Amino acid sequence: MAYELYYWPGIQGRGEFVRLALEQAGADYIDVARSEGPGLGITALMQGLSARNVTHPSFAPPYLRDGDLVVGQTAAILLYLGPKLDLAPEGEADRLWAHQIQLTLADLVVEAHNTHHPVGVGLYYEDQKPEAARAAEQFRAERIPKFFRWLESLLEHGADGAPWMVAGRLSYVDLSAFQVVAGLRYAFPHATEAALNKAPRLAALAAQVAALPRIRDYLNSERRIAFNTEGIFRQYPELDSPA
């Protein structure tokens, strides 16, 4: 039975972290909101969020259906899928460590989103541009480098010099780190390249993930939604540092 992924059809967003794992594993899955007829996928997605119709409703997408089991929240989905897709370490301690890394990456995703919506998610970017400029300046100068230094340290002290972050093997957190780097390169190209110059192992990891045959094919396919100014990572040139 195919996995069913429920997420908004027009953006990568948080659903992309799950898609990358499914694609790398060659898993059979349905991207429901993009696969159904016009409007039907969104209807199915919204029905899955209804507390009246679902025993354990998710607060928001993404959520994943595997038979009768429904799992929401990106990190929880990946914690569940990792062992099934052979994208998680074997030991409990290493699996929890991978989950911790994923949760930290989720923190970074929230901070990246808040650069263009620092006042409220219900407001347009144009309604909070002065506040966004201030938030982006701090994010570029302090937060991107801090997160990248931490990720670089994980690679520096990894198992036997392996290029992956957990237990010396590729896992879902490496795919997620690639996605974060790709998103920040889109949203803050100048600031991100400057930070990556000081995190060469992280830059190398991102390149290695992009070169994985299944990931490479996915990135070049129509299944990969392009970055755009409706998603988490948005490119507003005025929020990036000067070239």
Query: What CATH number is attached to the domain comprising 77?
Result: 3.40.30.10
Give the separation between CA 30 and CA 195, rounded to whole angstroms. Answer: 36
pLDDT of residue 42: 87
pLDDT of residue 35: 85
The C-alpha R_g of the chain, in whole angstroms, comes to: 18
Over pLDDT 70: what percentage of the chain? 96
- Choose one of 84, 111, 141: the last residue of a domain: 84
Biggest alpha carbon–alpha carbon distance for the chain: 52
pLDDT of residue 55: 81
Give the separation between CA 61 and CA 70, rounded to whole angstroms. Answer: 11
In this structure, the answer to whether residues 192 and 228 fall within a common structural domain is yes
- Choose one of 60, 84, 108: the last residue of a domain: 84
The domain of 66 spans: 3-84
- Choose one of 84, 100, 125: the last residue of a domain: 84
Two tokens, residue 223: 């299944």
What pLDDT band is residue 47 in, cutting at 50, 70 and 90? confident
pLDDT, greater one: 21 or 242: 21
pLDDT of residue 48: 85
In this structure, the answer to whether residues 106 and 185 fall within a common structural domain is yes
In this structure, the answer to whether residues 125 and 227 fall within a common structural domain is yes
Tally of domains within the chain:
2
What pLDDT band is residue 40 in, cutting at 50, 70 and 90? confident
pTM: 0.95
Q: How large is the average pLDDT for residues 134-162?
A: 91
User: By mean pLDDT, which of 51-60, 87-96, 104-113, 142-151 is the weakest?
Assistant: 51-60
pLDDT of residue 193: 97
Query: Burial of 211 by CB count in 10 Å (0-12 exposed, 13-18 middle, 19+ buried)?
Result: exposed
Q: How large is the average pLDDT for residues 66-74?
A: 95
In this structure, the answer to whether residues 228 and 140 fall within a common structural domain is yes
The phi-psi region of residue 63 (left if phi > 0; otherwise alpha if psi is between -120 and 50; otherwise beta) is beta
Q: How large is the average pLDDT for residues 90-94?
A: 94
CATH number at residue 105: 1.20.1050.10
Give the separation between CA 151 and CA 201, rounded to whole angstroms. Answer: 9
Q: How large is the average pLDDT for residues 99-107?
A: 98
In this structure, the answer to whether residues 177 and 213 fall within a common structural domain is yes
**What mean pLDDT is reported for the chain?**
94
pLDDT of residue 159: 64
Contacts of 226 (CB under 8 A, 6+ apart): none
Look at residues 23, 97, 129 and name the one whose alpha carbon lies nearest to residue 31. 23
In this structure, the answer to whether residues 170 and 96 fall within a common structural domain is yes
What pLDDT band is residue 29 in, cutting at 50, 70 and 90? very high
Give the separation between CA 125 and CA 131, rounded to whole angstroms. Answer: 10
